[in-house]
Amino acid sequence: MCCALGSAFPVSYASRIMQKQYFLPSSNLMGARLAGSHGDTQESKTNPLVSLSDEPETLYKRLSILVKGHDKAVLDSYEYFAVLAAKELGISVEKVDKPPKTIERFTLLKSVHIYKKHRVQYEMRTHYMCLELKYLTSSTAAVYLEYVQRNLPEGVAMEVKKTKIEKIPEHIQKPVWDTLPQVEETEVKS
């Protein structure tokens, strides 16, 4: 459950951990569910699979998903699916980029032995699709990525670049030499 938003940082955010029940992409999972309100505490009480913890959530400023495949039609369908899933889960899609395809070609000898003048050529075409999402918490990112990766079609690869944002840790707030005046001399000598 998110604590009071807009108050001074640091705020601890509860993370939602999916229970060990195997995730099935069918709607028959949940038993009786109250009419889908997205309020937090009520849902956690009614949905037995959701458990809350007090550890603070890590925040992802940007999630960049690059999908590579050999067939452009498959990637187009996957893009539609991923964008719709992001919209339904309330994730803001920054942009959908389609870098140009790369073609890797090579020429081999056609025959096992001699016949140098007769070759055969092969090529591999790789199409790309880059999806950039903004402002996700770790629970949301975990849910979205698991859903999207389980439905990755065969023969398609994915790279996910996560940009996590963090506070400056305590030991970098002030130089340590201020707090240890006596020990400084010996340290410098050694």
Q: Which residues contact 69 (CB under 8 A, 6 or more apart)?
A: 75, 78, 126, 127, 153, 155, 156, 157
Q: C-beta of 120: minimal distance to other proteins in Å?
A: 21
Selected binder of other proteins within 22, 116, 122, 175 (CB under 8 A):
175
Q: C-beta of 132: minimal distance to other proteins in Å?
A: 13
Selected binder of other proteins within 98, 115, 125, 153 (CB under 8 A):
153
**Residue 180 contacts other proteins per CB under 8 A:** no
**Dihedral-angle region of residue 114 (phi above 0 means left; psi in -120 to 50 means alpha; beta otherwise):** left
Size, binding site for other proteins by CB under 8 A: 75
**Residue 131 contacts other proteins per CB under 8 A:** no
Instruction: Mark residues 74-103: x for contact with other proteins by CB under 8 A, - for none.
Output: x--xx--x--xx--xxx-------------
**Residue 139 contacts other proteins per CB under 8 A:** yes
C-beta of 96 vs 160, nearer to other proteins: 160
Q: C-beta of 119: minimal distance to other proteins in Å?
A: 25
Name the amino acid, one letter, at 115: Y
**Nearest partner of 128 among 63, 71, 80, judged by Cα:** 71
| Owner of token pair 């903004």 | 134
* The token pair that represents 186 in the structure block: 């010996």
C-beta of 129 vs 140, nearer to other proteins: 140
Q: C-beta of 152: minimal distance to other proteins in Å?
A: 6
**What is the C-alpha separation between 189 and 20, in angstroms, rounded?**
55
Pairing relation of β-strands 119-137 and 59-69? antiparallel
Element (H, E) at 82: helix 72-88
Which residue stretch of 100-108, 112-120, 121-129, 135-143 sits at the interface with other proteins (rule: CB under 8 A)? 135-143
